Amino acid sequence: MITRRTFGAGAAALVLAGPARAADGDTVRLGYTGPLSGGAALYGKNCLSGLQMAVAEINAAGGLAVGGKALKVELVVLDDRYSPPEAAVNAKRLVQQSGAPVVFTSHSGGALAIEAFNGDEGFLLGAYTSSPAVTERGDPLVLRIPPSFASYIAPFVAYEMKRFGGKLALAGGDHEYAKAWAALFGPAWTKHGGTIVADNPMSYNKDADFYSGVGKVLSAGPDVLFVGGASEPTGLVIRQAREQGFAGGFAIMDQAKIDEIAKVTDGLDMLDGAVGILPLAYDERPAAADFAARYRAMFKADAGSDAALNFTGFNVVAEAMRLAGTVTDARAIRAQAEAAAKALTPKQNPTALTGIDVRGGFLQAAPICAVEKGKIVPLDAAALGG
């Protein structure tokens, strides 16, 4: 027996005993494992909300039409506390006990752990991580929902180095995703003529005070700090850096969101000189604005890019099921993913997904921004070298 939550037309807490099928009568079940408690809980819940919204809208429109039947969609949710081993255990439970043909996860460590067996067990992994390592393994049953973070490196480096100087301190998280970012960001910085004066990753998902770790990197006299993990601890790192007198810039990895960080830093003033992902509320594309309005009506809160990207990803999977004519054959569903991406309506596609590459990575231009004089300013990545 396991305790689970399912989300259909509404949310309910259920206890499931014994195995189930992915398609049980008129219902199809998909799974989600992500951090719903601990330091990354807000991040995990933001990702989950996008999946929930897709489920609710599909059900409100009459269900998922597959093989001449309209199926109700349910999302079975398990908390993994941002732990890769727990994510792997949860994925097995979601497949074996709930019969989920697709499991979504919201972190690279979890995705890489699940990739060790999803091919053998025959289920599709929807990996919400921009780490290219997830698709570089050649897993034929994976979809990487965001674009690769590699596209952000060059414009971030160019902006920060031009504005603040060439001395960089690496002060990101010590989880797998942050390590992957740092492994690309550091060499890109030195390639462009900069130097790395400190390297001190911190436990963003466990610690509640970063004062000493921040002080350690600041003692090296950096011009720029590379930071990032979940938004709340990232905000605390930035706040404590300013409180210790740091006046330089911040290169913020895409897991952390500037609008959410600002809630921790009491506004944008402490974020002056930061470069990161453009918050959805500042995205003026019609589909993004329409999504934001619908999200606000459903959740009574502002939408972020995590929600929008997961919403798009879920709609790709649902449309692929419709095109494949099956909700149980993961390989057939994966084979229709590219066609599904191109078939999405603007309402289903607030993130402007244009396609899926041969390894399963989503293709879309995620807009970037900087904070200048207390305002969020969109940046032209191409002009900066992205």
- Give buried/exposed letters for 162-177 (b at 16+ CB in 10 A, else e): eebebbbbbbbbbbbb
Where residue 11 falls among pLDDT bands split at 50, 70, 90?
A: very low
Q: Which amino acid is at 139?
A: D
Domain parsing of the chain, residue ranges: 2-148+286-363, 152-282+367-384
Q: In the chain, where does DSSP find H-type helix? A: 41-60, 84-96, 108-114, 118-121, 133-136, 150-164, 176-191, 211-218, 231-243, 258-264, 286-299, 305-324, 330-335, 337-343, 381-384
Q: Does residue 181 register a pLDDT over 80?
A: yes
Q: Does residue 17 register a pLDDT over 80?
A: no
Rg of the chain (C-alpha set): 20
Across residues 35-39, what is the average pLDDT?
92
Q: Whole-prediction pTM value?
A: 0.82
- Cα–Cα distance for residue pair 128/313, rounded to 1 Å: 9
* pLDDT tens-digit map of 40-79: 899 999 999 999 999 999 999 999 999 899 999 999 999 9
* pLDDT tens-digit map of 307-334: 999 999 999 999 999 999 999 999 999 9
* pLDDT tens-digit map of 240-255: 999 999 999 999 999 9
Number of residues assigned to the chain: 386
Across residues 107-119, what is the average pLDDT?
96
- Across the strands, what pairs with 29? 74
Q: Does residue 23 register a pLDDT over 80?
A: no
Instruction: List CB contacts of 4: < 8 A, sequence separation 6 or more.
Output: 14, 15, 16, 76, 77, 78, 98
pLDDT of residue 13: 31
- Cα–Cα distance for residue pair 172/59, rounded to 1 Å: 40
Q: 124, 101 in Cβ contact below 8 A? A: yes
pLDDT of residue 25: 66
- Cα–Cα distance for residue pair 158/149, rounded to 1 Å: 15
Closest CA to 336 of 360, 353, 352, 307: 360
Q: How many CB atoms lie within 10 A of CB 216?
A: 15
Backbone angles phi, psi at 349, to 5 degrees: -130, 65
- Cα–Cα distance for residue pair 237/150, rounded to 1 Å: 23
- Cα–Cα distance for residue pair 301/348, rounded to 1 Å: 19
Please tell me if the domain spanning 2-148+286-363 has the same topology as the one spanning 152-282+367-384.
yes
Mean pLDDT, rounded, of the chain: 91
pLDDT of residue 386: 56
pLDDT of residue 364: 86
- Second CATH level (architecture) for the domain 152-282+367-384: 3-Layer(aba) Sandwich (3.40)
Across residues 301-306, what is the average pLDDT?
92
Q: 294, 34 in Cβ contact below 8 A? A: no
Where residue 205 falls among pLDDT bands split at 50, 70, 90?
A: confident
Q: Does residue 7 register a pLDDT over 60?
A: no
Sort strands 195-199 and 2-7 into parallel, antiparallel or unpaired: unpaired
Where residue 147 falls among pLDDT bands split at 50, 70, 90?
A: confident
pLDDT of residue 18: 35
Q: Which fold has domain 2-148+286-363?
A: Rossmann fold (3.40.50)
pLDDT of residue 9: 36
267, 340, 372 from 259: Cα distances, Å: 9, 31, 14
* pLDDT tens-digit map of 322-380: 999 999 999 999 999 999 999 999 999 999 999 999 999 999 877 899 999 999 999 98
Q: Which amino acid is at 177?
A: Y
